[in-house]
Chains A and B, each alone.
Chain A
Amino acid sequence: MNFELTEERQMLQDTLRRFLADRYDTKTRNEILESDAGLSADIWGQMAELGIIGAMFTEDQGGFGGTGFDLAVVFEELGRAGVVEPFLDTAILGGGLIAALGTDAQKALLDDVIGGTHHLAFAHGEPTSRYDLSQVQTTATANGDQIVLNGRKAVVINAEAAGTLIVSARESGGVGDEAGISLFLVSADADGLDLMGYPMLSGGRAAEVMLNDVSVPVSARLGAAGKAYPAIAERAAAASVALAAEALGAMETATRLTGEYLMTRKQFGRPIGTFQALQHRFSDLLIELEQVRSAVINAAGHLEREAQVRDLNIAAARNLIGRAGRLVAEDAIQMHGGIAMTQEYELAHIAKRIIMTDHRFGDTDYHLERFIALSAA
């Protein structure tokens, strides 16, 4: 039994925490949130240089990490600082899929990804698929040595910054079948590819991605035809570990800000943290935080296990964190009062990050259903 971080991960955590404390303060983040790009290329480059992107790939893949615990360490820090840059999308989803399924030629792209000069986006969800990973209506049709893609992808995060999109499309089977789904590397400048971009409530940008007769060579297919689903499910699991850890870090910040506020804000002649009603609520947040930390450890520690065990632990973590996250975000705002309702105060952004993690790769209810189904399996 050992719950200490390895020396390498401890160093990674220390480095990242120091960097973000120095370089990602509220003012900087608010400037990024207001910017047209919705991300800082400068910060991205510096973090790539620090090895943050590399930490999300294994040594075989050209990185120096890549396990569940590596993801958890990085994303807890990203969450703590309220980072909006698309590490999940470029590294874990896009990069991870190329690393898992790519040919050597395709994997050559990873050097630039890890180096911070090439962004990726995973164009998978569709307007009516909600959180169901196997609902793919976008079609891939062979036409000589080309494959033609048609369909619409919904809320594709980082699509505008991406040099390459990883697009899922169906080559066979019905709309909800796991079999028959393929992945394709589509260059951002491909003919027939249209993006309608927009900012997101909790920062960053996404786009609706329209594919109208987008033609790609057969060599753009990632992995075997119609067999991409297991890799998609594995990366969705990795994304859930990252989101869970991000929520943990953000909840730690929310709790810290609340505690500091309770001890400095005075009403009725004394710090409001001396009122027992608020003390008890604050204590509840700390208790929940410990549960969340353990749930993240459970999820991260099972990421490399077989799908059923992996997904059971991940569903448990996401459900618990969805509930605890809502409590922490709402109570932190409530205990602050009006000040936390203002856009410029740090907690407003942090609370949005916590709540909006509940809208990626399954919400609290989705993961409850998953847990029940997987428990019975």
Chain B
Amino acid sequence: MDLSYSPEDIAFRDEVRAFLDAKLSPEMSGKVRNGQELGKAAHDEWHTILNEQGWLAPNWPSEYGGCEWNAVQKHIFEMECAQANAPRIIPFGLTMLAPVLQKFGSDAQKAYYLPRILSGEDWWCQGYSEPGAGSDLASLKTKAVRDGDHYVVNGQKTWTTLGQYANWIFCLVRTDPDVKQQEGISFLLIDMDTPGIEVRPIILLDGTPEVNEIWFTDVRVPVENLVGEENKGWTYAKYLLTHERTNTAGVGYSQAGLSALKRMARAEVSNGRPLIENPHFAARLAQVEIELMAMATTNLRIVSMAAVGQAPGVEASMLKVKGTIIRQEINDLARRAAGPYAMPFASESVEGDNAPIGPDYAGPVAAQYFNNRKLSIFAGSNEIQRGIIAKVKLGAMG
């Protein structure tokens, strides 16, 4: 048992830190720290910086331009980026679609799409959920009917994150309605410029247009845009979801959030003293930090397993449940720390060029608290995760 990083790991960490020091601008990290919307241009900028460094695709094999890091290095990179308030890497192309293409795509698909993901030429979004198919994803109804060299797609996808920026969408569609649900689904790549596609923004409860509805009306998709075999899409989707569920703990985000929270609690005054010295607040802060310390080690234990080739199973579900509880608790404490100044609806459109209404850290905290309710809902709700844990563990005992 050794809790410390090896000298090689520490050297790698220092290299990452030096890179972030040099390349991550204070404007960009400041926006991330304050929970401000980045927009497409800033995301593209960071994407390009990482690509030029060759650090954009830690999970890809080197033949496709990945960086061949081991599990510990990937972990260090993710943690350092989160703690430095680097923009999150938009995952849809890089960490969701790419592994599916690499495993199941045709040579032509790999040769065409993978470089465009790295270059940032394509912004992908995910067409999975539908109004009637959320936790029960396999009940999806968007259908694709073969017509000569095309599939004709009709239906509706929803909760499509940042779909307004995307020029491509990967979709699960029903190609056979007459078999068991899971056996009639295919995985299609669709150009968002194809006639018949309509993107409608959904405004979330914090006022942000983060997700969208995507409507398909007689959308003609070339058959070569089918990934793998027809009606095998569920297998690919499950493969994708296992990739989506790595780094589900969000330890780096929680650590960055906790640092920001402590800064707030030192600046806020309660009963004439810094809020961080208030016994009740300090106790709550300590409790969440204690949870996070244990979670960080749980996360490392799973990273170590992955480093020797053991794929995480239910552990990914466990990390997601506990990790999101911790992140949401930090959001709740930040909201409380802001006091009455949590009430204003702060946004660039409201404040314009004026100074923030209250302390600059107070503006976004309540909106973030509400926005991050999504953490326990998306990517397999915490109820679905608990179901998976019970099914696997109890199943092994029965």
Distance of A360 Cα from B336 Cα, bound (Å): 11
- Pick from A334, A344, A356, A360: contact of B203, CB below 8 A: A344
- Asked if A369 CB lies within 8 Å of chain B CBs, one says yes
Distance of A344 Cα from B209 Cα, bound (Å): 12
Taking CB atoms and an 8 Å cut-off, the chain B residues in 142-199 that contact chain A are 158-159
Which of A200, A343, A364 has the most C-beta atoms of chain B within 10 angstroms of its own C-beta?
A343
Q: A341 near B373 (CB under 8 angstroms)? A: yes
- Asked if A333 CB lies within 8 Å of chain B CBs, one says yes
Taking CB atoms and an 8 Å cut-off, the chain A residues in 120-167 that contact chain B are 125, 127-128, 130-132, 154-155
Question: What is the distance, in angstroms, from A152's C-beta to the closest C-beta of chain B?
Answer: 11
- Asked if B17 CB lies within 8 Å of chain A CBs, one says no
Stretch at the interface among A184-192, A250-258, A347-355: A347-355
Q: B269 near A208 (CB under 8 angstroms)? A: no
Question: What is the distance, in angstroms, from A344's C-beta to the closest C-beta of chain B?
Answer: 7
- CB neighbours (8 Å) of A154 from chain B are 340-341, 358
- Asked if B42 CB lies within 8 Å of chain A CBs, one says no
- Asked if A363 CB lies within 8 Å of chain B CBs, one says yes
- CB neighbours (8 Å) of A128 from chain B are 269
Q: B139 near A342 (CB under 8 angstroms)? A: no
Q: B280 near A368 (CB under 8 angstroms)? A: yes
Question: What is the distance, in angstroms, from A273's C-beta to the closest C-beta of chain B?
Answer: 13
Distance of A20 Cα from B382 Cα, bound (Å): 36
Distance of A73 Cα from B370 Cα, bound (Å): 29
Q: B377 near A342 (CB under 8 angstroms)? A: no
Taking CB atoms and an 8 Å cut-off, the chain B residues in 351-398 that contact chain A are 351, 354, 357-358, 366-367, 369-370, 373-374, 376-378, 381-383, 386-387
Q: A342 near B202 (CB under 8 angstroms)? A: yes
Q: B354 near A130 (CB under 8 angstroms)? A: no
- Asked if A206 CB lies within 8 Å of chain B CBs, one says yes
Q: B373 near A333 (CB under 8 angstroms)? A: yes
- CB neighbours (8 Å) of B328 from chain A are 330
Q: A131 near B280 (CB under 8 angstroms)? A: no
Q: B343 near A200 (CB under 8 angstroms)? A: yes
Q: B350 near A198 (CB under 8 angstroms)? A: yes
Taking CB atoms and an 8 Å cut-off, the chain A residues in 291-311 that contact chain B are none
Distance of A134 Cα from B207 Cα, bound (Å): 35
Distance of A132 Cα from B339 Cα, bound (Å): 11
- Pick from A130, A201, A351, A364: contact of B339, CB below 8 A: A130
- CB neighbours (8 Å) of A132 from chain B are 270-271
Distance of A131 Cα from B341 Cα, bound (Å): 11
Q: A130 near B344 (CB under 8 angstroms)? A: no
Q: Name the residue of chain B whose CB is nearest to the CB of A349.
A: B205
- Asked if B136 CB lies within 8 Å of chain A CBs, one says yes
Q: Given A344-B203, A369-B280, answer yes or no on A334-B373 (Cβ-Cβ < 8 Å).
A: yes
Distance of A132 Cα from B345 Cα, bound (Å): 23
- CB neighbours (8 Å) of A176 from chain B are 272
- CB neighbours (8 Å) of A341 from chain B are 204-205, 373-374, 377
Q: Given A351-B205, A355-B369, answer yes or no on A268-B377 (Cβ-Cβ < 8 Å).
A: no
**Please, how many residues of chain B have a CB less than 8 angstroms from a CB on the other chain?**
55
Q: Is the interface of A mostly helix, strand, loop or mixed?
A: mixed
- Asked if B68 CB lies within 8 Å of chain A CBs, one says no
- Asked if A199 CB lies within 8 Å of chain B CBs, one says yes
Q: A267 near B373 (CB under 8 angstroms)? A: no
- Asked if A277 CB lies within 8 Å of chain B CBs, one says yes
Taking CB atoms and an 8 Å cut-off, the chain A residues in 236-266 that contact chain B are 266
Q: A277 near B344 (CB under 8 angstroms)? A: no
Q: Given A338-B158, A351-B205, A368-B280, answer yes or no on A199-B339 (Cβ-Cβ < 8 Å).
A: no
Distance of A202 Cα from B207 Cα, bound (Å): 11
Question: What is the distance, in angstroms, from A377's C-beta to the closest C-beta of chain B?
Answer: 16
Taking CB atoms and an 8 Å cut-off, the chain B residues in 334-348 that contact chain A are 335-336, 338-346
**Please, how many residues of chain A have a CB less than 8 angstroms from a CB on the other chain?**
47
Question: What is the distance, in angstroms, from B180's C-beta to the closest C-beta of chain A?
Answer: 13
- Asked if A196 CB lies within 8 Å of chain B CBs, one says yes
Convert A266-283 into 0s and 1s, putting 1 for each residue whose CB lies closer than 8 angstroms to a CB of B: 111000000001100000
Q: B339 near A363 (CB under 8 angstroms)? A: yes
Q: B205 near A338 (CB under 8 angstroms)? A: no
Q: A130 near B383 (CB under 8 angstroms)? A: no
Q: Given A200-B344, A342-B205, A365-B281, answer yes or no on A337-B269 (Cβ-Cβ < 8 Å).
A: no
Question: What is the distance, in angstroms, from B163's C-beta to the closest C-beta of chain A?
Answer: 14
Q: A201 near B344 (CB under 8 angstroms)? A: yes
Distance of A145 Cα from B376 Cα, bound (Å): 61
Q: A334 near B272 (CB under 8 angstroms)? A: no
- CB neighbours (8 Å) of B370 from chain A are 201, 348, 351-352, 355
- Pick from B139, B343, B376, B378: contact of A267, CB below 8 A: B139
Taking CB atoms and an 8 Å cut-off, the chain B residues in 258-297 that contact chain A are 268-272, 278, 280-281, 284
- Asked if A18 CB lies within 8 Å of chain B CBs, one says no
Convert A361-377 into 0s and 1s, putting 1 for each residue whose CB lies closer than 8 angstroms to a CB of B: 00111001100000000
- Asked if B228 CB lies within 8 Å of chain A CBs, one says no
- Pick from B268, B341, B386: contact of A155, CB below 8 A: B341
- Asked if B244 CB lies within 8 Å of chain A CBs, one says no
Q: Given A155-B341, A333-B373, A341-B377, answer yes or no on A267-B204 (Cβ-Cβ < 8 Å).
A: no
- Asked if A326 CB lies within 8 Å of chain B CBs, one says yes
- Asked if A27 CB lies within 8 Å of chain B CBs, one says no
Q: Given A208-B357, A365-B281, answer yes or no on A155-B204 (Cβ-Cβ < 8 Å).
A: no
- Asked if A23 CB lies within 8 Å of chain B CBs, one says no
Q: Name the residue of chain A whose CB is nearest to the CB of B342.
A: A359
- Asked if B134 CB lies within 8 Å of chain A CBs, one says yes
Taking CB atoms and an 8 Å cut-off, the chain B residues in 98-145 that contact chain A are 129, 132, 134-136, 139
Q: Name the residue of chain B whose CB is nearest to the CB of A366.
A: B270
- CB neighbours (8 Å) of B354 from chain A are 196
- CB neighbours (8 Å) of B159 from chain A are 338
- CB neighbours (8 Å) of B139 from chain A are 267-268
Distance of A177 Cα from B1 Cα, bound (Å): 57
Q: A343 near B373 (CB under 8 angstroms)? A: no
The 6 A-B pairs of least Cβ separation, nearest first, read A348-B205, A267-B136, A343-B203, A130-B339, A201-B345, A199-B345
What are 10 A-B residue pairs whose CB atoms fall within 8 Å in the complex?
A: A130-B269, A155-B340, A176-B272, A267-B136, A334-B382, A337-B377, A340-B205, A355-B370, A359-B342, A359-B366
Known: A343-B207, A344-B203, A359-B366. 10 other contacts (CB 8 A): A127-B358, A198-B345, A198-B350, A206-B344, A266-B132, A267-B136, A268-B136, A330-B373, A334-B377, A343-B205
Give the B-binding residues of A (Cβ under 8 A).
Answer: 125, 127-128, 130-132, 154-155, 176, 196, 198-202, 206, 208, 266-268, 277-278, 326, 330, 333-334, 337-338, 340-344, 348-349, 351-352, 355-356, 358-360, 363-365, 368-369
Give the A-binding residues of B (Cβ under 8 A).
Answer: 129, 132, 134-136, 139, 158-159, 202-207, 268-272, 278, 280-281, 284, 328, 332, 335-336, 338-346, 350-351, 354, 357-358, 366-367, 369-370, 373-374, 376-378, 381-383, 386-387
